[in-house]
Amino acid sequence: MKRPILIHPDPRLKKTCAPVPDITDELRALADDMLETMYAAPGIGLAAPQVGVLDRLIVLDCEKDEAAEPKPIAMFNPEVIASSDDLNTYEEGCLSIPDQYADVTRPKEVTVRWLDRDGTLQERDFGGLWATCVQHEIDHLNGKLFIDYLKPLKRQMITRKMQKLKRERARA
């Protein structure tokens, strides 16, 4: 089931999410809903707070080749356990901040540890767009948006645009 995506500003997007104590069928169903919502948007990642659930769960699929098999990953309680000193700048977007893009600089490579949908501990190195996206999604779990990396004036400008968009959507 596709779920509505919250649009910034929303207090739920600023909260720190709670670790998941164990992986229940309800959480597996939420991960499936989030993947469906992400693919439909379309997007390459989604975090639970973006659908109003304050649990530490993210999904992502950064496979760029449309002819390739999809590569969905659901991560419960994801943690960056190592980051490269090398940095990479990418023009990021966010499904909670539609049609706004800005350069964000982050570690180029990261090692992430998480629980998969069976409750098995996984650890993997990510580079390229996967590294950018997984860091963006983990930021969501800590109440941080990509616009928080921007200068205050640019962030304010984007926030005002989103307030206007929300007013227009409420009237439609």
Q: How many CB atoms lie within 10 A of CB 86?
A: 9
What are the counts of helices (DSSP H) followed by strands (DSSP E) for the chain? 3, 7
Which residue number, 68 or 121, has a Cβ lying nearer to ligand K1U?
A: 68
DSSP 24-56: -HHHHHHHHHHHHHHHHTT-SEEEGGGGT--BS
Q: How many CB atoms lie within 10 A of CB 96?
A: 24
Active site residue 109: no
Assess contact for 97 and 158: CB atoms under 8 A: yes
- Are β-strands 110-115 and 121-126 bridged in parallel, bridged antiparallel, or unpaired? antiparallel
Determine if 107 is a binding residue for ligand K1U (CB under 6 A).
no
Determine if 51 is a binding residue for Zn ion (CB under 5 A).
no
Which residue number, 94 or 138, has a Cβ lying nearer to Zn ion?
A: 94
Minimal distance in Å, beta carbon 39 to ligand K1U? 9
Residue of 31, 131, 132, 138 that binds ligand K1U (CB under 6 A): 132
Determine if 94 is a binding residue for Zn ion (CB under 5 A).
yes
Assess contact for 97 and 135: CB atoms under 8 A: no
Which residue number, 11 or 21, has a Cβ lying nearer to ligand K1U?
A: 11
Please name every residue paired with 97 in a beta bridge, in sequence order, or none if there are none. Answer: 94
Q: Tell me which stretch binds ligand K1U (CB under 6 A): 6-14, 75-83, 94-102, 114-122.
A: 94-102
**DSSP classification of residue 20:** P
Which residue number, 75 or 94, has a Cβ lying nearer to Zn ion?
A: 94
Determine if 48 is a binding residue for ligand K1U (CB under 6 A).
no
Residues of this chain that interact with ligand K1U (CB under 6 A) are 42-47, 90, 92-96, 132-133, 136-137
Residues with catalytic function: 137
